Amino acid sequence: MTGDEGTTQVMANHCKALTAQGQANYVEAYEAVVTTMTLFLKVFRAADSPWVMAPLYALVFNLRAAAERADDDLRRQNKPLCKLSDAGSQLMRCFRECLTVRAPPGMQHCSDRARSGSTYI
């Protein structure tokens, strides 16, 4: 998958999440945010500059907010709450990804920025 294909898939799933949220289908919106996060982490691994930290931070914030709304939706339906705990697992994936990022030769400063950026996640 090229960078452009990855970015296109990320944006398509992000739009799917926004559509589900606009229709007040918060469980579906959360699932779409998780898919967006998974796809973005592939872009994150392939990135050769620290530009990916700002969108990752926004995705983390959106993930938490979507999980809270999804659990509220599940609570109203008298179903087991699980999205917020799942969001914790997803956040740990992001944190691990920031800590294990490897920069290409000659660009170690990008790796250092990503690692220090993990403190904001």
Residue with tokens 């452009």: 4
**Separation of CA 6 from chain center:** 13
5-22 confidence digits (pLDDT tens)? 888 999 999 999 999 999
Pick from 67, 74, 109, 112: nearest CA to 90: 67
81-106 confidence digits (pLDDT tens)? 999 999 999 999 988 888 876 555 55
| Residue spans per domain, the chain | 3-120
Comparing 97 with 75, which gets the higher pLDDT?
Answer: 75
